Structure 1
Amino acid sequence: MPLLRIQLDTDPITARRVLRLHQEGGIDHESREAAREQVWRQGRTPSGDPVFVGVTNGRRHVRLLYDVEVYSDTVP
């Protein structure tokens, strides 16, 4: 299945919190659901849960990165 990379705008404090939570084996449900909603807004159907892959390096404009598998028939 194709992967779609989702970038969610956030602030540096939240990015560090989500990264630390992920490193400890947890899940930030709020950002994961936001990634899922972004997939739907792009007209695609997620086939699984979003997977956290990291954060960008920006000082002001930080983004959370998620990979989401989507059904191939919904990819343009």
Structure 2
Amino acid sequence: MPLLRIHLDSDRTTARRVLQLHQAGRTHHESREAARAQVWRQGHTPAGDPVFIGITNGRRNVQLLYDVEVYSGAAG
């Protein structure tokens, strides 16, 4: 299944918290659900849970990165 890379705008504090949770084997549910919603907005159907990949190193604009498997074809 194809992967879709999702970029979510964030602030540095939240990004650090999401990264810490990921490193501890836990999930930041709010950002994961935001990534899922972004997939739907882009016209795709998620085939699984979003997988946290990391954060960008922007000085001003920090983004959370998620990969989401999507079904081939149009959204359902």
Name the TM-score, length of structure 2 as normaliser: 0.95
- Structure 2: segments with no counterpart, 5+ residues: none
Does the CA-based 8 Å contact 1:9-1:62 persist in structure 2?
yes
Q: Distance in 2 between matches of 1:60 and 1:15?
A: 12
Identity %: 75
Aligned equivalent of 1:31: 31
1:16-71 C-alpha deviation (Å, 9 max, x unpaired): 00000000000000000000000000000000000000000002100000000000
Q: 1:55-66 to 2 correspondence within 5 Å?
A: 55-66=55-66
TM-score normalised by L of structure 1: 0.95
Q: Which residue of 1 aligns with 2:50?
A: 50
Q: Output the CA distance in 1 between the equivalents of 2:34 and 2:74.
A: 19
Q: Which residue of 2 aligns with 1:14?
A: 14
Q: How many residues align?
A: 75
RMSD: 1.1
